A and B are shown apart, each in its own frame.
Chain A
């Protein structure tokens, strides 16, 4: 066969950028108002709670209007969360000790909520899987609520070892990873529910399976990059790229686990229930990697608990 190639004019029109950029603008405007960052975080938590209720109501009533309201409130919550982050960043700057708003436990949890929410909304737009929201938004609400009630929201200067430009990029990649694995977990749970009870209102099994798979596929290279960036930072700050610190090891465990998942799916052709259970177990390792290591086991990452 011979290659044929025909010239054709292709046009590129960015779609759907208007509402997000308006939201960003609104967040920036809100952030100039003289309210403390915690106020915005609390409002965001409230909005997440309301949107979780709406998504659950949509799950049971399947009313189109409720679904739209749920999406709207989630969007509002994300906007408020972003406002809180911008405000907090500004407040740390005013204090004379600027750090990005993802440095301690409080900031990390709220940042995780934010990223998970954004990824979920993108998926909702692309796949129309609104019912996944009934699973994801309660998780987002829970994370946010935990941050507000249990974590220390006070702004304190960072400890010297954290004051590095690596903080920006290493933490962002890590949280995109956490958020993606959360979404994959949501998809897997819906899959298992659908497979067990044959719930007709859920998207088809294939769509759910692939949704989970896709979020792992997208996030896996980012998670890898995060581990590598962490190693690069450790090589600047701690004197070695790998110290078998519990956080390092657990991020490796997560990596190995999802690596096994990807192999099982792509090469062994495992699908459906088996891989969905793998994702559920994988999410447990993700939770341990985030919470247990910071809270219970001593190591170099434990300063993130304050």
Chain B
């Protein structure tokens, strides 16, 4: 069989290798490359045509055999060869979508990376989104159909041989021809044989006929249903996937601290959804290992090098519907927040580039040079988007930068900001810079502030974060989990238990016994024959069905 396939496998590997090299590895392709491409393509096409031709001929032969289209179609869809072909084909298609070509990116991404011509081809062939392409879905649907037909075709006969009364076959001369039993010389002790079979886990059935005793033993019969459980489970999972594919939504919502948002961008950034609610992020925290230990009421005793390493990050969120807060909670990494059928996840975070929290100390301008101690009037805390009150002023952060000297370097904070102040019906723009000297310098440069009685210095500063949340709506999830549990149970039933049968006939001091195992026959044969020796002398012409 592999002799027939070896050429196809090798030529396709060769062809795919050449194509991959040309598309992704070689900077320039010349005449030699095209010659190689042509040669490999020719070999591959030849092998593929031969394979298709052989397959079609085999199908035609089948058609002739059944001589009826419905029967032929049924047999075709119920055939195992189709199942294996589909499994391998889906595997190969999946390779397409998970190696070289990044999936689900905007069209411009491919144009930039591969040039407009190749990008166009990728688009036409759905190579940018293999897993939602019509051909992938077609193959999965065919596999589902195949699963149903296979199960439908095979279940009745399995049922008959495993659960119906017909399975109690007597090992008489007629059956002996099929089963080719082993003969064991024993003491004529029926009980001993039954005990032996029971100790091997068999359920034993007996019938006496004159001087003969027929025994039939079986175990693990439910194992045979495992495969049907598995197939049903796979159909359930596929149904869940289909429901999510049709009705599910998934995307990213970026919310700066203190703000609210209801626009969700799909992961491929080509679709925008409006959520039926707004997500408001009240605060965002990065939790360090030290902080995490502190929250558990413990002191961090580990390596000081990692005490500031990021252990987790989290957002305190509120769900706002029609202007009203309807739910409230915390979303952290690995700990999503659920609202109705929607789930909200903490995916990323980042800096918005402006101030989030500022603590200012307020000094009296006049007395500051003489007596800074007495000039300190107090401190005021400001948050982005909020207005704070201090004495006769209303303050808010107007605009800010995180690093005055190098705006791109946000690792090091050297913030500067303009504070909007409302005082006695007048509006002032007051500069505050990370170092007091610079603040003083800037402050006294500005003519507009000549009658402003206060001066602010930066006490504490925290940049504003945005919280990158993922929101998913997948109504098929219960089916997926139900199917998954069923799948594992079915696999355990199918693979960890084995259906085995024994037939035996006791006549005088001769025990004729034959046995059958649905799986792992060789292992069973060896151990069973070895075990039989405890009953008596085993004739060495082993037989097995």
Contact = CB atoms under 8 A, between A and B. Distances in A.
A30 interface: no
Contacts of B2: 273-274, 277
Interface in B119-154: 131
Contacts of B520: 210, 213-214, 217
Interface string B286-302: 00010001000000111
Contacts of B91: 252-253, 256-257, 260, 285
Contacts of A231: 480, 484
A260 B87 contact: yes
Nearest to B96: A249
Contacts of B384: none
B187 interface: no
A1 B216 contact: yes
B277 interface: no
Nearest to B310: A160
Interface string B78-105: 0011011001101100110111101110
Interface in A171-228: 206-207, 209-210, 213-214, 217-218, 220-221, 224-225, 228
Interface in A141-157: 156-157
A96 B307 contact: yes
Nearest to A98: B302
A246 B227 CA distance: 28
Contacts of A235: 477
Contacts of B467: none
A220 B491 contact: yes
A246 B103 CA distance: 10
Contacts of B90: 256
Contacts of B471: 239
B333 A97 contact: no
Contact of A246 (B98, B289, B477): B98
A90 to B, nearest CB: 12
A239 B343 contact: yes
Contact of B306 (A97, A270, A298): A97
B207 interface: yes
Given A217-B519, A217-B520, A246-B98, A160 B311 contact: yes
B209 to A, nearest CB: 11
B333 A237 contact: yes
B84 A298 contact: no
B87 A259 contact: yes
B464 interface: no
Interface in B173-211: 191, 194-195, 198-199, 203-207
B477 A241 contact: yes
B199 A249 contact: no
Contacts of B313: 160
A258 B472 CA distance: 32
B307 A237 contact: no
A35 interface: no
Contacts of B521: 210
Interface in B480-510: 480-481, 484, 487-488, 491-492, 495-496
Select the residue from A96, A166, A214, A253 with max chain B CB neighbours within 10 A: A96
A228 B487 contact: yes
A263 B80 contact: yes
17 contacts: A1-B207, A2-B207, A96-B293, A160-B333, A217-B495, A218-B496, A224-B487, A235-B477, A236-B334, A237-B345, A238-B470, A244-B98, A246-B99, A263-B87, A268-B84, A297-B99, A297-B100
Interface of B: 1-2, 80-81, 83-84, 87-88, 90-91, 94-95, 97-100, 102-104, 131, 168, 170, 191, 194-195, 198-199, 203-207, 214, 216, 241, 250, 289, 293, 300-303, 306-307, 309-313, 333-336, 343, 345, 347, 470-472, 474, 477, 480-481, 484, 487-488, 491-492, 495-496, 519-523
